Chains A and B, each alone.
Chain A
Amino acid sequence: MELKNAISIWFFIGVVLVVYGALILGAGIYGLIIPPAKPVVLNELHASVWWGALLFAAGIAYVVKFNPKKKKD
């Protein structure tokens, strides 16, 4: 099996974290500007903002480290 030329699973994980982080961070910022009509419990913590940012940062780190183009170079 020629798995050595395959894209690393960690790269896929980086991609999904970047996408989800960006979407959740965006939703959190939107919620800051326009507060929701039915806020969740402890909405004032703005979990979407910091959790989204955290996922995004982790995703970027994985995408860079396991970038398949970098591997070929």
Chain B
Amino acid sequence: MTGSIVSLGTIDIVIIAFYFALVLGIGFYLKRYTRTGDDFFMAGRKMTSWIAGLSFLAANLGALELMGWSAAAYQYGILATHWYWIGAIPAMLFLALIMMPFYYISKAHSVPGYLQLRYGNASRTLSAVSFGFMTVLMSGINMYSMALVMKVVLGWDIHFSIWVSSATVAIYVTLGGLLSAIFNEVLQFVLIWAGALLIPIIGMIEAGGWGKMVAKIQANFAGLDLTHLWRSIGSFSDNAMGIHWTGIVFGLGFVISFGYWTTDFLVVQRVLAAKDLRAAKMAPIIGAGFKMMVPFIVILPGLLALSVMPGLVGESQAVATGGHSYNEVLPLMLARYAGPGLLGLGITALIAGFMSGMAGNVSAFATVWTYDIYKPLRKKVSDAHLVKVGRWATVLGVLISIGTAYLVMQFASIMDYVQALFSFFIAPLLATVLFGMLWKRATPAAGFWGLLAGTVSSIGMWAWVKIDPQALAIIAFSPNAKAMSENMYRALWSWLIAALVTIVVSYLTKPKPESELVGLVRGCTELPSEGDYKFYQRPIFWAGVILVCLIALNVVFW
């Protein structure tokens, strides 16, 4: 217990202990409501739009959001906000209005399950295996991040933190399945805001307002534009991220963002649990509204730290000098402002974030493992047996995640690593799903070969740059491109390759008859009515409101 930023008082420990007791209690309470496969894996498809929407966002609001993006804000400035606005909102609205009807009407249990209906078993298996691999790695990253916070802030043993948190998640997800995960995610969402919101509020008071904060950042980091969203990305060398606006708009704003928010089953699963099509369409829109506000508790603390706490360095330099790394910026800001009680709540908010991310990964993994990997191998299985397999898969997912958490410890930059994973698996999957949903000519063979070509080429480009760093100038258009920028362009290339292969193979092979595409493809499906609602109750109206707000925010912080 040495070398920690803070030490907790009795009241802080009571707050944290109460949180653990409550999430476990919810898990035990909800077990009685999860008897069938639909209950366990799809939360009975009875969630309201608010619960599905908050859960949709909370599953993403894990360790990487809270710790990683506040660190990225310290490292790259306000550019990190792109990952919340252009890098999320358009994709969430597209999911709601264009894609959700097909996911929902098809009654698929998962995104690989949709691919099975649209393209066949080969595409499903490839997607399920890559998703399972990516998910447990992400879960491991979540665990490592949480354990790191506990070590830095409280001096807790890193192994103790990993095992206690993962055991808690394993218990409540195993008991109540997706229902328990969703309930806890909504609770965690509220706690994250309750615990994290004070940092920017008090930080702004200390900095003296936005204008004074910006002036101080400019004084602390002369020559770097860290406070404008678009002005500094006209050239690779003008910004700390080494990125060009084309990478942000096409790589992040289209491929990475649409790939993650519309095809990553971790988040899509929450929306599939909605009670009807209108709720399923409203859920991502509600999530988008809150997503737009998340920079206030994640990016702003990083910017405030640039103003009031300059001098944080990279992980390796911090280890060498014994100083603090910018990866610790959020807990450092918490320790700066939070007294007894508030500190406990802030730590609980971080733990809640980590658990919601971890539970999201584990519950999605259990569903894909059970329905898309295990079930196809068995000729006949009962619903009760699938629930049993799902519970074991949850435990298995947690155990593999623990193993990967130890592997992740070796990586210096957590966020860069995650973005690389997205470009491997998510970017080509986006092409496969989009063509499958919007183009009836796409054939089963094209779906498989497009997905495979995109994934292999993405991994190949990553390996090429590792072996020959000069290849960076070809893949990312500039030898100055940083890791994040490289990931954006690699994702863009892999999407293009997947799309191209899908188109070419489609014209060389025989398509499915239209009768088999009903409920799966636009143009072959009559969409059901949303019901008789006033204009302000319709998803399209709220999507428009969110879009206008997004444009306004980008103009204000241009």
Chain A residues with a Cβ under 8 A of chain B: 1-3, 6-7, 9, 12-13, 15-17, 19-20, 23-24, 26-28, 30-31, 36, 39-43, 45, 47-48, 51-52, 55
Chain B residues within 8 Å of A26, by CB: 11, 341
Cα of A24 to Cα of B344 in the assembled complex, Å: 9
Say which one of B105-113, B198-206, B255-263, B452-460 lies at the interface with A.
Answer: B198-206
- Asked if A45 contacts B205 (CB within 8 A), the reply is yes
| CA of A24 to CA of B183, assembled, Å | 24
CB-nearest residue of chain A relative to B26?
A12
* A41 → chain B closest CB, angstroms: 5
Contacts of A2 in B (CB 8 A): 33
The CA of A52 and the CA of B202, in the complex, are separated in Å by 15
Cβ contact of B11, chosen from A7, A9, A12, A23, cutoff 8 A: A23
A12 with B336, Cβ < 8 A, contacts A1-B46, A24-B342, A47-B198 known: no
Most chain A CB within a 10 A radius of its CB, from B46, B202, B338, B341: B341
Residue in A closest to B9 when the chains form the complex, CB atoms: A27
Q: How many residue pairs, one in A and one in B, have C-beta atoms under 8 Å apart?
A: 97
Decide yes or no whether B29 CB sits under 8 A from chain A: yes
Q: Measured between alpha carbons, how far is A20 from B348 in the docked complex, in Å?
A: 11
Residues in chain B near residue A55, CB distance under 8 A: 194
Contact present for A24 and B206 (CB under 8 Å): no
**B333 → chain A closest CB, angstroms:** 10
Q: Which residue of B lies closest to A62 (CB)?
A: B190
Q: Collect the chain B residues with CB atoms within 8 Å of residue A9's CB.
A: 51, 183, 186-187
7 pairs from A and B in contact (CB 8 Å cutoff): A1-B34, A27-B340, A30-B340, A40-B336, A40-B338, A41-B202, A41-B336
> How far, in whole Å, are A20 and B342 apart by their CA atoms in the complex?
9
Q: Is the interface of A mostly helix, strand, loop or mixed?
A: helix
Chain B residues near A45 (CB, 8 Å)? 202, 205
Which A residues touch B337, using CB under 8 A? 40-42, 47
For window 194-226 of B, CB contacts with A under 8 Å fall at 194, 198, 202, 205-206
- If the complex has contacts A1-B46, A9-B187, are A48 and B33 also in contact, measured as CB distance less than 8 A? no
**In whole angstroms, how far apart are the Cα atoms of A28 and B15 in the complex?**
14
Q: Which residues of A contact B29 (CB under 8 A)?
A: 7
**How far apart are A68's CB and chain B's nearest CB, in angstroms?**
12
- Asked if A48 and B26 sit within 8 Å, CB to CB, the answer is no
Name B's A-contacting residues (CB within 8 A).
Answer: 11, 14-15, 18-19, 22, 26, 29-30, 33-36, 38-39, 44, 46, 51, 179, 183, 186-187, 190-191, 194, 198, 202, 205-206, 335-342, 344-345, 348
Given contacts A24-B345, A42-B337, contact A16 B187 (CB under 8 A): yes
Q: In the assembled complex, which residues on chain A have CB atoms less than 8 Å from the CB atom of B11?
A: 23, 26-27
Q: How far is the CA of A27 from the CA of B344 in the complex (A)?
A: 11
Q: Which residues in B have their C-beta under 8 angstroms from that of A20?
A: 15, 18, 194, 345, 348
Q: Which A residues are CB-close (under 8 A) to B341?
A: 23-24, 26-28, 48, 52
Which residues of chain A have C-beta atoms less than 8 A from B22's C-beta? 12, 15-16
A-B residue pairs, 10 tightest by C-beta: A27-B341, A1-B44, A24-B341, A27-B340, A1-B39, A9-B183, A40-B339, A27-B11, A41-B336, A13-B190
Whether the pair A48, B44 counts as a contact (CB closer than 8 A) is no
Query: Are the C-beta atoms of A36 and B187 separated by less than 8 Å?
Result: no
Determine how close the nearest CB of chain A comes to the CB of B194; give it in whole angstroms: 6
Which of A7, A28, A31, A41 has the most C-beta atoms of chain B within 10 angstroms of its own C-beta? A41
**Is B194 a contact partner of A3 (Cβ separation < 8 A)?**
no
Q: Name the residue of chain A whose CB is nearest to the CB of B275.
A: A3
Residue of A at shortest CB range from B29? A7
